[in-house]
Chain A
Amino acid sequence: MTVQLKFLNSIVYFSDLAPAELESIRKLIFEKTADRAEIVLLEGESAANLYFVASGVVKVFKTSAEGKEQTLSIVRPGESFSDVPIFDGGPNPVSARAMSPVLLYGIKKSDIEAILGNNPQIALNVIKVLARRVRHLVSLVEDLSFKHVISRVAKILFEHIGGENGPGPRLTQQEMAAMAGTAREVVGRSLKTLEEEGAIKLDRHRIIITDKEALQKIMEVSS
């Protein structure tokens, strides 16, 4: 196993630590790999380890009772997930899936408690990470007044239909999100819902308005 001290130092949790402290943490790390699409954390289960992404990308999401997924965050190298259940002792509030082949660095829950006790700087770093996480989630909660967003997304599609005068402008989900005043993840889910309701069809790079009347009805829902 070749956990690099330099990489460890780049993880926010372990920033501003002396080499000896980093070395003591390195000894507690175990590696775990996952293939693309493999679930690495399941909502509702108890958590035994804290994970950091060493390489690859992990998607953190929640699943509704109807089986719909809502992406909450994308975890890139150097970032952590499964923090919350480790620190509050409850079950996983979210699930996580590898978006690519990933290498994870894990630390057992019992070892985390010892690390925090011995290193006040790490405790401060953890507080910073969790505070940023709360800020991100508060912003997502604001964006997730879903009933209003879907009518704004429908309006954006309606206003940008290409036609007799030539093709309309192409829009990324991020651009639609900026126009709708919401998050990219919410636009993605809105498009899926509009497709389920029969108003549009997603065909690779094309959004085909299949039922203009249905789209207009959705637009008219007050926001």
Chain B
Amino acid sequence: MVEMPVLDPTKCDGCGLCVGVCHSNALAIVNNIITIIETVECDWCTDCELVCLTGAISCPFEIIAQEP
């Protein structure tokens, strides 16, 4: 399973700005709501989170320490 951005459909207003900025084809609008398409092409650029005005999409980071 590929880790993907997190979507809150209740906040999504279907503006589509995130779909436009995604260079990995990881987002699409289906029935006026953003749908996330699981793909290894997603490089976590976080541009989708950056352009979203409603906070519907987020790209949280996991912080881990490298094994010595």
Contact = CB atoms under 8 A, between A and B. Distances in A.
A181 B50 CA distance: 18
B63 A207 contact: yes
Interface stretch (A19-27, A114-122, A128-136, A165-173): A165-173
B49 A76 contact: no
Given A36-B23, A76-B53, A208 B64 contact: yes
Contacts of A100: 17, 19-22
B46 A173 contact: yes
Contacts of A184: 50
Chain B contact residues, majority secondary structure: mixed
| Residue with the highest number of chain A CB atoms closer than 10 Å, among B17, B21, B43, B62 | B62
Interface residues on A, range: 35 or more
Contacts of B17: 56-57, 76-77, 100
Contacts of A101: 20
Contacts, number: 93
Interface residues of B, number: 25
Contacts of B19: 100
Interface string B1-16: 0010000000000000
Given A36-B21, A56-B20, A204-B3, A99 B47 contact: yes
Interface of A: 36-37, 55-57, 74, 76-77, 99-101, 157, 160-163, 167-168, 170-175, 184, 188, 201-202, 204-210, 212
Given A161-B65, A171-B60, A173-B49, 12 more contacts: A57-B20, A57-B51, A76-B17, A76-B51, A170-B62, A172-B59, A173-B61, A205-B61, A206-B62, A207-B63, A208-B66, A212-B65
Kindly list the 5 A-B residue pairs having the minimum CB-CB distance in the complex, ordered from nearest. Answer: A100-B20, A170-B60, A204-B44, A99-B21, A100-B21
